[in-house]
Amino acid sequence: MKTLYTKLALLFILLFQSFASFAVEVFTVQNSPYTITSAISFYDSVYIEPGVVFLFSPAGKISFHGSVFADGSPDGLITFKAADTTGWSSTQTQNGGWTGLEFKGVNAKLNYCIIRDIKNQYNQSGVTYGIFVESKMVMNNCKIYHNNCNNQRFIFQNSARNFEMKYCEFYENRATYLITTNFSEATFKNCNFHHNTADNYNAFPVYSVLNCDSRKTTIIGNTFYKNQSTGNAVIACTGGNGLIEGNRIINNSNTGASQQCGSGDGGIAMFLTVFSNNHSDTLDYIVRNNVMANNYNRNGHGIVYIAHAKVAFNNNTVANNLVSVDGTGLFVFSNGLTPSYTKLIAKNNIFSGNASESITQQSIGLWNTNSVKLENNCFKAAVANEIYTTFVTVFPSDTANNIASNAIGFINPTAGFGLGYDANNTNFALQDHTICINKGTLAGSNAATYDYVGNPRVVNVIDMGAYENQREEPNSINKIGVSKNSLQIYPNPCADFVNIINTRKGATLVIRDILGRIVYQLKDVKDDVIKVNTHSFPRGNYYIELNDGTTRYSNMLSIAS
């Protein structure tokens, strides 16, 4: 009871931040499960204990008009699900699912929740949502899966209050737009989006997993794997002021009609635009340290499609992707009326092994775009042969600093391009002494502090690509050699534990997350094999390093579930 009172007091402080009188509805695990057979509303604030289960009939729905604190835990997940999923496969009835959730209060915080089985039957003209959000929303360590909103948006955030999703797993969901954020500051960090479908039965499709029309968008450290769309990208941003960093975007595809025409016809990894351009020279998006591999864009141009936006595209690895036409890596578009709205600065990127189903095999396609700089990138051929242009009067500048190579020297890449090669357990980090090491530029590159796996981004000269895999120069006192990715670990990916073998006694072991933060540290190693409990680690990618004072051994670890 004391614990409950403490958490309620914290709820009052965090969610309400005032001395106004209020009431609280408490859902306890002792009274769980709660059966919801119709649409109900709660106008008081709500606290939900760990382990509570809500079972919904087809017409079941909850609207929260007050603040919500769903306080789950790893061993006490809060679950929202259908009581009976019989009839789930029929898109014409509500049977097998339930109607959804609404958050309309000031604040909503969901920790360790499961949300599944929401289903809205196909409705050509209806405007309904699986999860409607007007609250300031924070979701941590939630699993959201097996939801279907035919011809609808699934999660629709529609207020100036912020939306934040961290360490969540989002999979096997289907909707037109899976997650849409409007007006707010939207943040997605260290989440895993996989096996989702964004589609529509209507005409021209521009659909995505993340559709962010927010005043500020931050997308960092996420994995996007085997998502499918009938339209464009897994990430579509239209509001500007965006940072897209350290994401792994692999084996995603779209299946819409090939070579559609217009400003929305491309980009399976990203579609970046600004609907209301401010006419200034300020960057709209910074895209850096991302790995984009083995995606397939049947729907037109480019793995990343830029239209009427100013973008810095730096230190990305774009490898073994397949597109329908024009620009196997980037496609940059302007409609001709306002070409000054579109600007690209691309530095320190690796474009390797990408292919097109058409005769235009160039890495970059430009359509009526005159403000493009390509500096210190790696292409498969001379840069003059790597750019496909239409209605372009000014050829890109700074092209002399790019290099040409078909042999990058990745540690463990996929063997070929397209969806036939699974990029999930591959490693696109650079081997030592490959051509892309020490070939980048810091000037105007908006370099991050850490690379994709948590290495310090700059030691001396910045490397090309998402990984900084660079040997340190010796100094007058000591020299530490770097043996990259030589640390032996298994299983990888892992769930509950990882074994680190052939360690060095007296060394220091450190595990960092994608942002470079230390999540585990062991000094003065005494055993040859170290078993680390990873059960509490959020899913995502981690960087493991063993330093014995003479040599650093490292590898990348993936937490799968």
Mean pLDDT of the chain: 85
- Cβ neighbors of 52 (< 8 A, separation 6 or more) are 27, 28, 29, 32, 33, 34, 78, 79
Q: How many CB atoms lie within 10 A of CB 290?
A: 28
One-letter amino acid of 300: G
Give me the pLDDT at residue 551, please.
72
Residue range 51-73, pLDDT digits in tens = 999 999 999 999 999 999 999 99
DSSP secondary structure code for residue 384 in this structure:
G
| pLDDT higher than 70, residue 252 | yes
What pLDDT is recorded for position 145?
A: 97
- Report DSSP state, residue 529: S
- Domain layout of the chain by residue ranges: 1-183, 203-470, 481-561
pLDDT at 470: 58
Strand duo 540-547 + 508-512: pairing: antiparallel
Fold held by 481-561: Immunoglobulin-like (2.60.40)
Gap between the Cα atoms of 193 and 367, Å rounded: 31
138, 265, 343, 365 from 301: Cα distances, Å = 35, 7, 17, 8
Higher-confidence position of 211 and 281: 211
pLDDT band at 481 (very low <50, low <70, confident <90, very high): very low
User: Of 313, 310, 376, which Cα lies nearest the Cα of 342?
Assistant: 310
∠ CA 428-431-434, rounded to 5°: 110
DSSP state of 14: I
| pLDDT recorded at residue 261 | 43
Q: What is the pLDDT of residues 123-133, one digit of tens each?
A: 545 567 899 99
Average pLDDT over residues 99-109: 95
Residue with the larger pLDDT of the pair 432 and 304: 304
